[in-house]
Structure 1
Amino acid sequence: MRILGEDFTFSRQERGKKVPYGTAGDCYSRAEGCGQGRFSIDLTGTSFKLTSDVSWIGDTTKIHRTDQTASGRCGGFCGECIPDLNTGLHVEIT
């Protein structure tokens, strides 16, 4: 099974335009490691978990993940990170 990034049914956004689920970016600074865009995935309380092959590509500053959560800080001068297009956001039943 795969989470559809453009399905905003169960997503929450604090401000700005809608971006695909699990994606983040910014145009803050050219300095390396300075990405300010953030994403968060929380499957806690569901019977789903992220599969071990889920990863992100792009301008990634930091990503932390467990079986049921993932959070990341990405970007830096109009950069972004996205779920790897080869695997997407695969989930499985726990």
Structure 2
Amino acid sequence: MQAMEPEQKKSVMVSADVHRRIVALRKGDQTYGDVVAASIRVLEEREEISSLPCVDDFSEEEIDQMFREAQEHPEEFCTLEEFMKKQEEIRRKK
């Protein structure tokens, strides 16, 4: 095996959970598949979160319009608490 030059090495950010799994892999406590599965799960969660719109993405007019629509048709909208519960149920099913 050939040693890599320092400029060829690349660093990658991983979550604390994935880091623990990598350490466990080195110790022989887990398999490579366990580490890969954890990495994929973290990436999927990040994609899920990044797809949710942020309030900063909306203009004042758009926020006012959404607020008016929610008042006119409350049955079509839910509270933040209800939304969070639904998201948690979806995550549990996966």
Considering fraction of residues, name the structure with more helix.
Answer: 2
TM, length-normalised to structure 2: 0.22
Q: Which has the higher contact order (CA 8 A, sep 6+)?
A: 1
TM, length-normalised to structure 1: 0.22
Considering fraction of residues, name the structure with more strand.
Answer: 1
